[in-house]
Each structure stands twice: as structure tokens, then as C-alpha cells.
């Protein structure tokens, strides 16, 4: 993967940051993307990545906004020319049972987690060369559903539909499109889960532990590699066996 250019959305922190570091260790040049308010975290991540000896850049852009993504694509075109690996990772939660959910909790989740796939991918597709890789981060919630997450689970199921359809469209250019569906991974997102609920969840996970960010990053690394050349339209679950 040495010398390949990879964009990971929402990568100032969390799973995205881990993916960026993992791909940088493979020799990829890295484009960190996040929202402007995450600049401080993004710059720290950028330093860690540059220390690995690869070329890296932070581009502030809001993936829920088409024009913002267009500007990001223009910067990538100018500075990197091509984009070999795209990881659509940015995501948010605003959990609430549907009975109490407000429009302010529904629409932003759809915009950041699902509309972003159109906004980002549509704008960079022309600079993804033959043999490129698109990896979309879904969730087990999009496969099995989850209490209090009608908004989030809808987006993550949508990510799978997008993945499978785009895989059919771009296969002739040897571009693969796959999804990774993490389960409960140690992160800021799952740190919000109350302790009692977490204990119940751990009971349900066959491997009896939460996943680590590296577990997800390693799945992304595999799908981005030449070893995964004949896999397209798949959903790789990284969930300790919790979903079926």
C-alpha cells in the first residue's frame, strides 16, 4: 500500500484516527478529515501520522454538506491528484426512543451518517483510479437494530445498501466497495453507554469483551489491501460474534 493516498472521514479521533494510523503504518499518505471544531485533535493526529514518515494533510469539511465535500475533493485533486482509498467513517449518534425522538435528533444523524456517503463519494469518485478501494463504516445496529436507535440504525442499514449498489456500478473499474460493521468498540461513542447497560451488553457478546479500535482498523487495512482484491459488496462484521 506504500504511496497510496487514503482519505478517512471523521478521523481526528476515535476509530477513524486508528484507521488513519494503521494505513499510515502501511505506507499510505493520509488525508485526515473532520469538522473545523475538531481542528486541535486533528492536528495532533496529523503530527502522529507525519512522524510515521508519510505525507499527511488535514482538510476541515462537513461531510453532511455537499458543497463542503466538493471543496474537500478539489483540495485533494490539487494536492494528491488521485485518491486510492476512501473510508467513509464519520458518524454521530443521537439516541432516543422513536416515541420521544425530535426532528433535531433524526435529521442530523441521517445527514452525517448516510447523506455523507453521497456527498463525499460523489465528489471524489472521478479521482479514484481503477483498482481503488471504498470502505464504508456501518454498524451491527444496521443489521440487527438497536433499542433507542431508529435514526442511527436506519443510516447504518442504508450504508449497506449504498455499499452493495455502488459495488455493482464500479466493479468494471476493479474498484471494490465494502462495508465494515463494528459491534461494541471501546471509544468516545460507547463511553456514553451507562455502566449497567454495558454489563448486560458484555454478557451478550460471545467473546465477552468489547472490541478495540485496532480490531476495526485491521479490518479496514485488510479490505484496503491487495489481498482483498476479489471481495466486493460484503459486510465485514467486527463484533465479537454478537450479530447474526
- Exactly one of 6, 76, 185, 219 binds ligand NAD (CB under 6 A); that residue is 185
User: DSSP class of residue 129?
Assistant: P
Name which of 74, 163, 170 is nearest 123 in CA terms.
74
Instruction: For ligand NAD, give the closer residue by CB, 95 or 129.
Output: 95
At its nearest, how many Å lie between ligand NAD and the CB of residue 213? 7
Instruction: For ligand NAD, give the closer residue by CB, 143 or 228.
Output: 143
Residues 44-103 contacting ligand NAD, CB under 6 A: 62-64, 89-92
**76 phi-psi bin (left φ>0, alpha ψ -120 to 50, beta other):** alpha
At its nearest, how many Å lie between ligand NAD and the CB of residue 145? 13
- Exactly one of 7, 30, 38, 160 binds ligand NAD (CB under 6 A); that residue is 38
Instruction: For ligand NAD, give the closer residue by CB, 65 or 129.
Output: 65
At its nearest, how many Å lie between ligand NAD and the CB of residue 100? 21
Q: What angle do CA 15, 18, 21 make, to 5 degrees?
A: 155
- Exactly one of 9, 119, 121, 176 binds ligand NAD (CB under 6 A); that residue is 9
Question: CA 4 to CA 177: how far, in whole Å?
Answer: 17
Please give the positions annotated as active site.
152
At 177, list the grid cell. 466497495
Burial 10-47 (b: 16+ CB within 10 A, else e): bbbbbbbbbbbbbbbebebbbbbbbbeebeebbeebbe
> Would you tell me which residues interact with ligand NAD (CB under 6 A)?
9-10, 12-16, 33-35, 38, 62-64, 89-92, 112, 137, 139, 182, 184-185, 187-190
Amino acid at each position: 500500500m506504500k504511496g497510496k493516498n487514503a482519505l478517512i472521514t471523521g478521523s481526528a479521533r476515535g476509530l477513524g484516527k486508528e484507521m488513519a494510523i494503521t494505513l499510515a503504518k502501511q505506507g499510505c499518505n493520509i488525508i485526515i478529515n473532520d469538522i473545523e471544531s475538531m481542528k486541535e485533535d486533528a492536528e495532533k493526529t496529523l503530527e502522529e501520522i507525519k512522524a510515521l514518515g508519510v505525507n499527511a494533510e488535514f482538510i476541515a469539511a462537513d461531510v453532511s454538506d455537499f458543497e463542503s465535500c466538493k471543496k474537500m475533493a478539489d483540495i485533494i485533486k490539487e494536492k494528491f491528484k488521485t485518491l486510492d482509498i476512501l473510508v467513509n467513517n464519520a458518524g454521530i449518534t443521537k439516541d432516543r426512543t422513536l416515541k420521544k425522538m425530535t426532528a433535531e435528533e433524526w435529521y442530523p444523524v441521517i445527514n452525517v451518517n448516510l447523506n455523507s456517503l453521497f456527498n463525499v463519494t460523489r465528489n471524489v469518485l472521478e479521482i479514484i483510479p481503477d483498482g481503488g478501494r471504498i470502505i464504508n463504516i456501518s454498524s451491527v445496529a444496521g443489521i440487527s437494530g438497536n433499542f433507542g436507535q431508529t435514526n442511527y440504525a436506519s443510516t447504518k442499514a442504508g450504508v449497506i445498501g449504498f455499499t452493495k449498489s455502488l459495488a455493482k456500478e464500479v466493479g468494471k473499474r476493479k474498484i471494490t466497495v465494502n462495508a465494515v460493521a463494528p459491534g461494541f468498540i471501546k471509544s468516545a461513542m460507547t463511553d456514553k453507554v451507562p455502566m449497567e447497560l454495558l454489563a448486560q451488553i458484555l454478557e451478550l457478546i460471545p467473546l465477552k469483551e468489547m472490541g478495540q479500535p485496532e480490531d476495526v482498523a485491521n479490518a479496514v487495512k485488510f479490505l484496503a489491501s491487495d489481498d482483498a482484491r476479489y471481495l466486493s459488496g460484503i459486510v465485514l462484521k467486527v463484533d465479537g460474534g454478537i450479530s447474526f
